[in-house]
Structure 1
Amino acid sequence: MPLIEGFTEKLDAAIDAGALPGLHGLVIRDDNGLVLERYLTGADEGWGRPLGEVRFSAETLHDLRSVSKSLVGLLYGIALDRGEVPPPDAYLMAQFPDYADLARAPHLATQKISHALTMTLGQAWNEDLPYSDPANSEIAMERAPDRYRFILEQPAIAAPGSKWIYSGGATALLGHLIERGSGASLLDFARMHLLAPLGIEAAEWFAGSDGTYSAASGLRLRPRDLATIGEMVLRGGTWLSRKVVPAAWLNEAFTPRISCFDDVEYGYQWYLRAATDGHGPRRFAMGNGGQRLILIPERGLSIAILCGGYNQPDQWKTPAAIMLEHVLPGLAVRR
C-alpha cells in the first residue's frame, strides 16, 4: 500500500469537519486495485443543467467537464493506431476540405494536428469567462450554426505552435477527426475502444443542439471508472494483457510540448508537472468545478476527484487540499 498509516482517518476527519467543500467523490487506485473510495451528498449539475441535491454512490455518473479533453487525447491515439486519423504532423486544414475558403489564411495554412493536440493553434479563444456567459468561446461554439467553421474562423493572435491558448475548440476538431475517420460517434468509439476493454459500461456524453457530442466537456463517468482509466494509463496502456492505448502514443502524449502556466507544461491534451518532492512527476486532467484525474507514475497512483464547484473562482481549492494536505503527505518520501 503506498499510503501511510493514518491517511484514511485524517481524510475522513477533514470530510466530517467540512474542510473539503463541494467534494462529491474521491477514488484512489494503485497497482493492486482500489485503495480508497468516498462519496458524499451535494448539489450537482449535468453540463450546466441543475440536478438538485444528489446523494452520490459508486454507481452515480458525474460530469467530467474538461477532463473529457484528456480522454479524447487517448481516443485520438487509439484511432491513430487503427489508421483512422492522420498523424500529428499532418496539416490541419487538409482534413477540413469543406472549408477551403478559409484555407488561404496564412496561419491556417501552417497549422498541424499537433497544434490542436497541444492547444497551440495560435487563434483567439477565451474560456476565462463563466460558462454561463454566451461570450465564452466554448459556449459560443456550441451555439454556432457550424461549430467547425466557428473554430477555424477565429482570428490569429500568435504563430501556430508558439503559444498555449486554452481551447475547447481544439479538442472539438480532434473529436471530429475521430468520428469522421472511424465512422462512429465519439461516444460509440469511446465505448468500443476505451471503455469496454476496461469493463466500463455506464457512460453518457452530452451533445449540443446540433447533435454533436461535446468533445471538450461532455463526458460523464463514474468516479471509479475514471480512476480505472488512469490505472490503465499507468500500466502503459494495457489492461488484463490487452492493449487499449498504444504505449508509444502515451509516450508522445506525456512529452512536454509547451509551458502553459506556473510550473505546468502541456503534452497532447494532458497537463504535466515535474515534481521535486520525492514522489515523481504528475500527469493530470482538469475540469470545471474541481474535476481531476491525477496520475503519479512512480507511485502507481491514479486519483479521481469529482466536485461540484462549477464556475466558482475557488473551485480549485478542494482538489488542491486533497492532494497537498492529504494524499502527498500520506506518501512516504522516496530517497
Structure 2
Amino acid sequence: MYLDLSFLTKELQKEKINSFLILQNGKNVFSYYKNKKQSNKLHKMNSCTKSVMSLLIGIALDKNFLQSIQTPVHQFFPKIFASQTDGRKMELTLYHLITMTDGLDFPEFGEWESFAPMVFHHDIVQFVIDRPMIHTPGSHMNYNSGCSHILSAILQQATGVKTEDFAREHLFNPLEIKEYRWYQDRMKINKGADGLVLKAEDMIKLGQLMLQNGIYNGERVVSENWIRSSTAPNLVTYENIGHYGMHWWVNRLNKTRHFSKENNYYFALGFGGQYIIVVPTRNMVIAVTSDIYADSLRPMRIIRENLLNHRQLGLYD
C-alpha cells in the first residue's frame, strides 16, 4: 500500500533543501524540488564526489588498471616520497587513502573548520604527503579530503586518462549520466574530494547501482565484492556521522542493535547537505541536494526522524 508522504514535503519546505528524491524497488516514489529550476540543475556534490571516487577505484581494480588495494602510494609519486623524512610514510597504501586511515596530520574537521587549505597549493598531492604523520597508518580514521584527491591522481596515472574520462566510459555512460562537470586542480587532476557536479536524478542512479550490487540495466559496472567491501563499517571517529568504510559512511537503522546486513545503511555525504543514501533492507535509495552550509547533517536528521525511524520507511510494505 502506498503511503501519503505529503507530510515530508511540508518538512522539506521549511529548509534550504533543493531536491529530495526517493526510489524504492527501482521506482520513483517521492520527488521534491524547491522550484522548477532544480530538476534540471547541476548540483555541486561536494564530498559526495569521494564516494564516486570509490566506485572508480573499484572499477579500476576490476579491470586491472590497479593491481591491489594494498599497493604502496610511493610507487606513484617517487620524487615526492624521496624527500620525506618520516619512514612510516612508505607504508601508506591505497587502502589507507580510501579508508582515511593515513595517519597524517590533517585537521579538516578541527581547526580548519571543514576547509582544507590544500586548495591554495600549486600541487595538492605534494601538500598532502608533506603533512606530518601523527598516527601509524591503519590505526586511526581522520577525515582527510587530500586522500581522495591523491586517489584521483593515482587513477589518472594508472589508466593514462583523466579521471573524468575514465568515469565517462566506465561509469557515467553505463548509467546514462550525460550532463555533468568535474573540476580540476592546477595540475590538471580532476578534484577527487569535491569536484563533481551532477543532477539529483543522476545522483540517485549512483545509489541504485550500489543497491543493485554493481549492476545497472542488466550490465555489470563494478564487482559485488567491491560494493560489499567499500560499504563495510571500519573505524569510527565521528559518532554523530557514523563509521567510515571505503569513502562511504555506514550507520545503523536501529542504534540499539549491532551492525549487520539487516541493520546497516550507508551514504555519501557532502558539505552543505548533499546525500546519496542506500537502505538495502528496504530496497531504497534517497538523493538530497541542499544549501544548508551551517549544518550539513540537518537533512540526515530529517530523514531519520521522518523515514528511517518510522514505518514510513516501508513505503510499499
Same fold, TM exceeding 0.5? yes
In the alignment, the residues of structure 1 paired with residue 313 and residue 285 of structure 2 have an alpha-carbon distance, to the nearest angstrom, of 14
Match in the other structure for 1:35: 29
Match in the other structure for 2:92: 111
Match in the other structure for 1:274: 252
Equivalent AA in structure 1 for residue 96 of structure 2: H
**1:38-70 CA distance string (max 9 Å, x none):** 1114xxxxxxxxxxxxx5332211010001001
Deviation at 1:332, TM superposition (A): 4.1
Deviation at 1:96, TM superposition (A): 1.5
In the alignment, the residues of structure 2 paired with residue 188 and residue 199 of structure 1 have an alpha-carbon distance, to the nearest angstrom, of 14
**1:100-149 CA distance string (max 9 Å, x none):** 4235522202212110010010001122369xxxx668542121122111
**1:293-325 CA distance string (max 9 Å, x none):** 111001111100110123x1x232233213322
Alpha-carbon distance change, 328 to 231 in structure 1, aligned in 2, over 3 angstroms: farther
**1:253-281 CA distance string (max 9 Å, x none):** 12222123217211111111133279731
Match in the other structure for 2:44: 63
Match in the other structure for 2:10: 13
Deviation at 1:328, TM superposition (A): 4.2
Unaligned runs of 5+ in 2: none
Unaligned runs of 5+ in 1: 42-54
Match in the other structure for 1:297: 280
Alpha-carbon distance change, 199 to 152 in structure 1, aligned in 2, over 3 angstroms: same
Instruction: Provide the secondary structure at the position in 2 that maps to 1:260.
Output: strand
**Percent of residue pairs identical:** 25
Alpha-carbon distance change, 171 to 223 in structure 1, aligned in 2, over 3 angstroms: same
Contact in 2 for aligned 1:231/1:300 (Cα 8 Å):
no
Match in the other structure for 1:325: 306
Match in the other structure for 1:52: none
Which ranges of 4 or more aligned residues in structure 1 deviate by more than 3 Å? 135-139, 332-335
Alpha-carbon distance change, 155 to 137 in structure 1, aligned in 2, over 3 angstroms: farther
In the alignment, the residues of structure 2 paired with residue 324 and residue 137 of structure 1 have an alpha-carbon distance, to the nearest angstrom, of 25
In the alignment, the residues of structure 1 paired with residue 126 and residue 314 of structure 2 have an alpha-carbon distance, to the nearest angstrom, of 51
Instruction: Provide the secondary structure at the position in 2 that maps to 1:177.
Output: helix
TM-score by length of 2: 0.90
In the alignment, the residues of structure 2 paired with residue 63 and residue 172 of structure 1 have an alpha-carbon distance, to the nearest angstrom, of 16
Is residue 61 of structure 2 the alignment partner of residue 80 of structure 1?
yes
Deviation at 1:327, TM superposition (A): 5.3
Is residue 209 of structure 2 the alignment partner of residue 232 of structure 1?
yes
| CA-based RMSD | 2.4
Contact in 2 for aligned 1:66/1:217 (Cα 8 Å):
yes
In the alignment, the residues of structure 2 paired with residue 265 and residue 88 of structure 1 have an alpha-carbon distance, to the nearest angstrom, of 20
Deviation at 1:34, TM superposition (A): 1.5
Alpha-carbon distance change, 326 to 215 in structure 1, aligned in 2, over 3 angstroms: same
Aligned length: 310
Is residue 91 of structure 2 the alignment partner of residue 91 of structure 1?
no
**1:221-254 CA distance string (max 9 Å, x none):** 1111111110111111001211111111112112
Of 292, 300, 310 in structure 2, the residue corresponding to residue 309 of structure 1 is 292
Deviates more, 1:227-236 or 1:204-213: 204-213
Match in the other structure for 1:22: 16
Is residue 215 of structure 2 the alignment partner of residue 200 of structure 1?
no
Deviates more, 1:322-331 or 1:230-239: 322-331
Q: 1:249-268 alignment to 2 at 5 Å?
A: 249-262=226-239, 264-268=242-246
Contact in 2 for aligned 1:280/1:297 (Cα 8 Å):
no
Match in the other structure for 1:48: none
Alpha-carbon distance change, 274 to 129 in structure 1, aligned in 2, over 3 angstroms: closer
Contact in 1 for aligned 2:91/2:137 (Cα 8 Å):
yes
Is residue 278 of structure 2 the alignment partner of residue 288 of structure 1?
no
